[in-house]
């Protein structure tokens, strides 16, 4: 299926997402902060990046900005946030408000071919 980079400083959330996406046949790599995520992104090709937006150091906005200014700028990005109002840009393809059912994330990943990379931000809230 897809190779996905998940970036989240909350290790439990990252592990849960890894387990769920792996069950659906995706290859998932985890980064526990934005800087690590940027390093991994630069060193490998990913079909999708899923990142928390609010993290210490390099946050999800910084990660998205880095991706959009790289040679792999059309890589789709899903942002996850309990504080979606902290988005500084519209460099995400989709933003999902935390908390959310894992099924919503799975469906978003499965429907990703229907998303256009970069430029058509969709916000999804499940509260």
Q: Quick one: pLDDT at residue 35?
A: 97
Rounded Cα gap, residues 10 and 65, in angstroms? 21
Q: Quick one: pLDDT at residue 127?
A: 40
CB 90 within 8 A of CB 107: no
Helix locations, the chain, DSSP H: 11-23, 34-43, 60-68, 102-110
When the candidates are 3.40.50.12780, 3.40.605.10, 3.40.30.110, 3.40.50.2300, the CATH number that belongs to 3-124 is 3.40.50.2300
Domain ranges of the chain: 3-124
The pTM (predicted TM-score) of the whole model is 0.87
For residue 110, the SS3 value is helix
Encode pLDDT of 47-91 as tens digits.
999 999 988 889 999 999 999 999 999 899 999 988 777 666 678
């Amino acid at each position: 299926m897809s190779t996905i980079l998940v970036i989240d400083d909350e290790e439990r959330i990252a592990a849960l997402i890894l387990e769920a996406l792996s069950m659906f046949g995706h290859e998932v790599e985890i980064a526990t902060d934005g800087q690590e995520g940027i390093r991994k992104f630069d060193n490998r090709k990913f079909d999708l990046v899923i990142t928390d937006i609010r993290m210490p150091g390099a946050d999800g906005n910084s990660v998205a900005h880095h991706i959009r200014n790289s040679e792999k700028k059309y890589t789709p990005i899903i942002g996850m946030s309990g504080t979606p109002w902290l988005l500084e840009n519209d460099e995400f393809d989709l933003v999902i408000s935390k908390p959310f059912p894992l099924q919503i994330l799975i469906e978003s990943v499965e429907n990703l071919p229907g998303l256009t990379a970069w430029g058509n931000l969709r916000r999804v809230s499940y509260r």
